[in-house]
Amino acid sequence: MSKLEGIFTPLLVPLDDRGQINEAELRRFVSWLIERGVHGLYPNGSTGEFTRFTAAERRRIVHIVTEENAGRVPVLAGAAEANVKETLFACQAYADMGARAVAIVAPFYYKLTPESVYAYFAEIARNSPIDLTLYNIPMYASPIDVATIRRLADEFPRVIGIKDSSGDMAFMMRMIAAVRPNRPDFTFLTGWEAVLIPMLMIGCDGGTHASSNVVPEVTRKMYDLYRAGDTEGAMQWQYRILELFDAMLYPFEFPDGFRAAAELRGFHFGGGRMPKTGLQRADEKALSAVLHCILADFELVNPPAAGCPVRHGDIGQDKLQQMVHEVFHEMKNRGIL
Amino acid sequence: MSKLEGIFTPLLVPLDDRGQINEAELRRFVSWLIERGVHGLYPNGSTGEFTRFTAAERRRIVHIVTEENAGRVPVLAGAAEANVKETLFACQAYADMGARAVAIVAPFYYKLTPESVYAYFAEIARNSPIDLTLYNIPMYASPIDVATIRRLADEFPRVIGIKDSSGDMAFMMRMIAAVRPNRPDFTFLTGWEAVLIPMLMIGCDGGTHASSNVVPEVTRKMYDLYRAGDTEGAMQWQYRILELFDAMLYPFEFPDGFRAAAELRGFHFGGGRMPKTGLQRADEKALSAVLHCILADFELVNPPAAGCPVRHGDIGQDKLQQMVHEVFHEMKNRGIL
Amino acid sequence: MSKLEGIFTPLLVPLDDRGQINEAELRRFVSWLIERGVHGLYPNGSTGEFTRFTAAERRRIVHIVTEENAGRVPVLAGAAEANVKETLFACQAYADMGARAVAIVAPFYYKLTPESVYAYFAEIARNSPIDLTLYNIPMYASPIDVATIRRLADEFPRVIGIKDSSGDMAFMMRMIAAVRPNRPDFTFLTGWEAVLIPMLMIGCDGGTHASSNVVPEVTRKMYDLYRAGDTEGAMQWQYRILELFDAMLYPFEFPDGFRAAAELRGFHFGGGRMPKTGLQRADEKALSAVLHCILADFELVNPPAAGCPVRHGDIGQDKLQQMVHEVFHEMKNRGIL
Amino acid sequence: MSKLEGIFTPLLVPLDDRGQINEAELRRFVSWLIERGVHGLYPNGSTGEFTRFTAAERRRIVHIVTEENAGRVPVLAGAAEANVKETLFACQAYADMGARAVAIVAPFYYKLTPESVYAYFAEIARNSPIDLTLYNIPMYASPIDVATIRRLADEFPRVIGIKDSSGDMAFMMRMIAAVRPNRPDFTFLTGWEAVLIPMLMIGCDGGTHASSNVVPEVTRKMYDLYRAGDTEGAMQWQYRILELFDAMLYPFEFPDGFRAAAELRGFHFGGGRMPKTGLQRADEKALSAVLHCILADFELVNPPAAGCPVRHGDIGQDKLQQMVHEVFHEMKNRGIL
């Protein structure tokens, strides 16, 4: 089978008014992404809030995604469950559904030593009916270190790649230096779109980027420009995606900023699975207006009716400025100004 | 209903050879603990590896525990599930099973802001059919800060207490100072037995201690001595429990050291749900010999056949020394020495 | 020589309008503290901002303090300099000035391994003409771990104690368990007054407390009550000192809150060595009004003219409330209300 | 004056047998570096162990360096002293010596808020007789955040650049995005040679690299290759410098690995200012043999007499392997094998 490469979308999951999976919208979203050029789909990732769904819902999500995809792009299915036995059941289920591979996050909640992280992945790799990629996200789960990655890559052909969301460039280089000599087929994907182009330069094969839920055209274009040798062009987009990424990531609980921005592309994502206070909802609305302006600059949506002031790069100030802007607009509309 | 107080055991879960819940052993264990004086039982805590069981298994554990308990002591059931809706289903189920209250850990994996932590617990408290306690374990889950605790305690009578596993004495005092004036009924339990007696001195109502799976007589005795005014006697045990706690906690993956020590009390806990390498199994065996000697000093088990050298308090050195000791014993047995 | 015990004051340093050491005020302050019962003086600690003075100024501070003290209480002089050679010169100088011992903070800026921390202190201990205490403050300097403390205590009689500012009770117990069997004379002082009484209960000999610059009567009373067996009385003060400590520590840069509070006791501490923005000065003024009210509750100063509203324990809210209170007072004064 | 760019060497300081500055060797070293192509010199940085010298020694180091340099390359002099007044004296002294600019590390020991970090640099910038660069090294000192950098860059023309040693690529991009629009002359230098080429790609002007003490030819070549458009060639060296950097950085206390490697280039650096145990000295010797082999691969030194086995990239294993290799070599030499 061919090596995984390019931009994979860790899919957001649209919910209906009752908080249930909105199947119709998910299908529409999947096809929309494929049409805009994503190279692959990655359901049940952190962006897909896999921990907030039940085991049955996680299976249903992959089922919908693979069915709607209908073989158009490779599907990398998040398969981590409560324990190895349950995870292996999920691996089998996703193999049967036609996933290209599964992605398994390192054990979380408990923070484990490298030896335990190795033992965990080794047991899965030994028994999995489908190729698997490791998923390193040290801010949320036990870290996977370089020695462990090399050990797993050297011992298990079933382990075909790693997604790393640390954003640490030197760490990625250490992994590549340790693994590639023995496993030239091994795939390295970054989960940190803030540095996608530099990651491609040091040898990554692509990325799984939450932002590709929102601007799939842009993440694809960045990849294509870089592969075509236009580093400068790619870097210009890199700086713009950084602004968007920061505005979706930091002022919101993850992945709510990405959900809010994807709404602006014309999908109904619903309220999310975590309860929110009134204060939070108001804040999200104000932040969403800034996201609207950033997306308008990308020429992917029309600017808001009130227009957009010049941004200053500090999301707190930009939010405030946008709110003032809207109030003035409203006052003008009402003939007060 | 009466206030929660005393020592609650966050139950370890015995597994059989296939890694399934060993019901008979769990029942035997529950009764053994109650007979040795624990004030309450706490299934589905971190010690009970709740994240490594399926939703159905978590329910089955509480079912077995409440049934075997048969009303003898209050049961505090860990009820955190994938999302609020599933958690509320579990709350209802545990209320029906006769649990005294549920314990809900703060959201984990994603690290949330205080406002989101508040929103989460508020939504549960608003709808729960059973009293609930908050569970703060910042090393594994989103932290619950003092302002959030006060807010929840002030607004929701259903929130009746907090278990804090940070071990931070000043933090516990800040919580008590913030909450008790308005809610004298609110229960403060520490999850850090290393400092149980100091925590009682500053006003805690008790603790939920993994060590009480291993030495329920000792944690009970500490509590009783302190309540009876014998601070000095209680502190002598405190120093001894600290040695045991450290030896079970740090050189093992949690909660494997507690499982290994509880085995020495005569229960079959099985191999655990996480795979282990041969290296890890050998290391656990060597460490278990040190635990055996510590428990022998408590006069709760017979010393190992090879006897016990004097310990030096550094678990690594103690392990090495014990291994040398055993080799000499074996050589003597074989007539080599 | 007798064992160090009791409450040592890590002296704040009064500055004049040009930012120079205010000798007259420092002398007055030293005598005031001794008269209010502190057991010892500790110049050149973190509270004394030792890093912000030149080597010559540090010597001058100890000179003034020891001279003014005139043998009334033991002086523990902070002697850390740029390197071991310079530190040993300072040790000699402070020995000549009559200091009882020196205190040496673990190496800072670079974060060192335990082996290097050991090598550093061993070299000093081997050559020092005066007893020395270790100073562990892991939030600012390389941590000193239990094995290192034991090693140093076992090998060097010159090392007579440790001051630990981690506030970690279990860590203090581990140190005591590791060191005291071989060195019953070794002194354990806590630098975290938030938990002074619990620290005395587990066996500490006393503390070096920034708060004793502000309320030397209170820290002394806490110590005396506990030693006299009145744990409950001591704990009541413990909760009150916690409120004061938190209000001086968290909303200010350290040690500016302690400087602001000590000003309220009638000393001129000057503006500090670090530049401040106008925003910071305004904020400190507002926070100082809350400190004024807390100290008035201790009946150590008169309440502010505007009076004090009830505090809620959240320093941000208390500050706001106090500001509103003052504005209303001012408006009444001017006949507006 | 022209913008700072290229590779600056944060100079190691050679010591004599008594631990004093070895002036002759320092002069020889300075000229050697310049001849091998470094673009500038940076005395009194973290690599230069500025905290371990006295204020007088720091001045002497800059004096020697500027005198020996004799205007050949720009000198960036580390000028942080105990407080602002002392720092300004140093700024004046270094201006008089002919330094191009000074570098000021953010306040350390105490961890300050952004507002205080701003106030500190603003006070210096307002009064400095010489251009200054900020130095952000969050692992050792208070972090400088993006808003603070922008504020300082916007307000003070004297602030002409920043050296950032976080190695965080996205952070560097955020700084560049925030500052460059208003200050196109502002210099961005990375202190993390592990990612030098990616940093140049995102727009950095160069770096100050401890490794350039050891392999000034290589860091210069990397810079030149990248500037000449040969990204691939530059990246090949990047991977090789990463191996060297990791081997000098992680298994040693900083900057001892760099000192050990620079010794291999033919300079006498002496034992360092921090005491070491026998264990540490033996370990450094063994690690030094690995460094010797890496440098031999760069064809900058002859390989060790015993030869070099193939390295595996894990420094611990490489060290062991090298030791075995040397023992075999020695045994062959003695005719045992």
Strands A101-105 and A76-78: parallel
Nearest CA in chain C to D122: C275
User: What are the helix (H) ranges across B114-273?
Assistant: 114-127, 146-155, 169-179, 196-201, 216-227, 231-249, 256-264
Give mean pLDDT, residues A252-280: 97
Percent share of chain C, pLDDT over 90 = 92
Residue A146: which residues within 8 A CB-CB, separation 6 or more? Answer: A171, A174, A175, A178
Is D54 buried (19+), middle (13-18) or exposed (0-12) by CB count in 10 A?
A: middle
What is the reported pLDDT for C153?
Answer: 98
Question: Is D204 within 8 Å of D188 (Cβ atoms)?
Answer: yes
Cβ-count burial of D113 within 10 angstroms (0-12 exposed, 13-18 middle, 19+ buried)? middle
Distance from CA of B167 to the nearest CA of A (A): 17
Nearest CB to A119; choose among B51, B120, B276: B276
Residues A151-165 have a mean pLDDT of 98
Q: Which residues of A touch D173 (CB under 8 A)?
A: 194-195, 238-239, 242
- The answer to whether A83 contacts B140, with C-beta atoms less than 8 Å apart, is no
Distance from CA of B293 to the nearest CA of C (A): 18
Q: H/E element holding A16?
A: none
Query: pLDDT tens digits for C17-65?
Result: 999 999 999 999 999 999 999 999 999 999 999 999 999 999 999 999 9
* Spatial separation of the C-alpha atoms in residues A136 and A142, rounded to whole Å: 8
With beta carbons less than 8 A apart as the criterion, state whether A230 and A295 touch: no
Q: Is the distance from CB of B170 to CB of C194 less than 8 angstroms?
A: yes
Residue C307, Ramachandran bin (φ over 0: left; ψ between -120 and 50: alpha; else beta)? left
Residue C223 annotated among the catalytic residues of the structure = no
Rounded distance between C-alpha atoms, residue C189 and residue C107, angstroms: 19
Please, do chains A and D touch (3+ CB pairs < 8 Å)? yes
Query: For residue D102, what are the β-bridge partners?
Result: D77, D132
Partnered with residue B252 across adjacent β-strands are none
Q: Which residue has the higher pLDDT, B1 or D130?
A: D130
Query: Is the model's pTM score more than 0.90?
Result: yes
pLDDT higher than 90, residue C2: no
DSSP A311: P
Average pLDDT estimate for D9-38:
98
User: Which pLDDT score, from 0 to 100, does residue C21 have?
Assistant: 98
Q: From C138, which residue of chain D is nearest by alpha-carbon distance?
A: D109
Q: What is the mean pLDDT of chain B?
A: 97
Report, as an integer, the average pLDDT of B122-142.
98
Task: Inspect the interface and report whether the beta carbons of D242 and A147 lie closer than 8 Å.
Answer: no
Tokens of B284: 């656990």
Please name the residues in contact with D15: beta carbons below 8 A apart, sequence gap of 6 or more: D21, D22, D269, D270, D271, D272, D273
**Nearest-CA residue of chain A relative to D145?**
A314
Nearest CB to B275; choose among A108, A120, A273: A120
What are the beta bridge partners of residue C78? C103
**How many Cβ atoms from other residues are within 10 Å of residue B268's Cβ?**
15
Among B42, B94, B135, B223, the active-site one is: B135
* Close Cβ partners of D102 (under 8 Å, ≥ 6 residues apart): D76, D77, D78, D79, D90, D91, D94, D95, D128, D130, D131, D132, D133
Its ipTM equals: 0.96
Top pLDDT among A14 and A329 is at A14
Using the Cα atoms of residue C148, residue C154, residue C157 and residue C161 in order, give the sign of their dihedral.
Answer: positive
Q: Test D242 with A313 for CB contact under 8 angstroms.
A: no
* C52·D82 Cβ contact <8 A: yes
Q: Which two three-digit tokens encode residue C205?
A: 């000999």
| pLDDT value, residue C289 | 95
Q: What are phi and psi of A46, to 5 degrees?
A: -65, -40
Whether the CB-CB separation of B32 and B217 falls below 8 Å is answered with: no
What sign does the CA torsion over D109, D111, D114, D115 have? negative
- Residue B275: list chain A partners with CB under 8 A: 84, 119-120, 122-123
Residue B293, classed as helix, strand or coil, is helix
Active-site position among B94, B118, B163, B319: B163
A80 to chain D, minimum CA–CA distance in Å? Answer: 29
Identify the weakest region by mean pLDDT among C6-20, C77-91, D272-286, D311-325. D311-325
CA distance D7 to D27: 19
Instruction: For chains B and C, tell me whether 3 or more CB atom pairs sit within 8 A of each other.
Output: yes
Active site residue A276: no
Band (D336; pLDDT cuts 50, 70, 90)? confident
CA closest to C110 among chain D residues: D140
pLDDT of residue C312: 85
CB contact under 8 A, B194 and C314: no
Q: What integer pLDDT is reported at residue D153 of this predicted model?
A: 98
**Burial level of A66, CB count in 10 A (0-12/13-18/19+)?**
buried
Chains in contact with C, where contact requires at least 3 CB pairs less than 8 Å apart: B, D
| Predicted confidence (pLDDT) at residue C89 exceeds the cutoff of 80 | yes
Query: Whole-angstrom Cα distance, residue A61 to residue A77?
Result: 10
Q: Would you state the pLDDT for residue C290? A: 96
Mean pLDDT along residues D154-174: 98
Distance CA C203, CA B235 (A): 9
Which residue numbers of C have CB closer than 8 Å to D's CBs?
Answer: 19, 46, 51-55, 82-86, 107-113, 115-116, 118-120, 122-123, 139-141, 253-254, 273-277, 279-280
Structure-block tokens of residue D311: 């390295």
**Which of C54, C107, C110 is closest, CB to CB, to D82?**
C54
Res. B109: pLDDT tops 90: yes
Name beta bridge partners: B136.
B164
Cβ pairs A/D, distance under 8 A: 70
Give the chain B residue whose CA is nearest to the CA of C237. Answer: B202
pLDDT at residue A2 in the model: 87
Is the distance from CB of D49 to CB of C108 less than 8 angstroms? no
Residues of D in Cβ contact (< 8 Å) with A192: 170
A118, A135, A223, A226: the catalytic one is A135
pLDDT exceeds cutoff 80 at B1: no
Residue C115 has pLDDT above 90, yes or no: yes
For C242, which of B173, B197, B243 is closest by C-beta distance?
B173
Interface test with A, best of D150, D172, D173, D227 (most A CBs within 10 A): D173
Shortest CA distance from A140: residue in chain B: B109
- Count of residues in chain C: 337
At B100, is the pLDDT very low, low, confident or very high (cuts 50, 70, 90)?
Answer: very high
Per-residue pLDDT tens over the stretch A171-206: 999 999 999 999 999 999 999 999 999 999 999 999
**pLDDT given at position C65:** 98
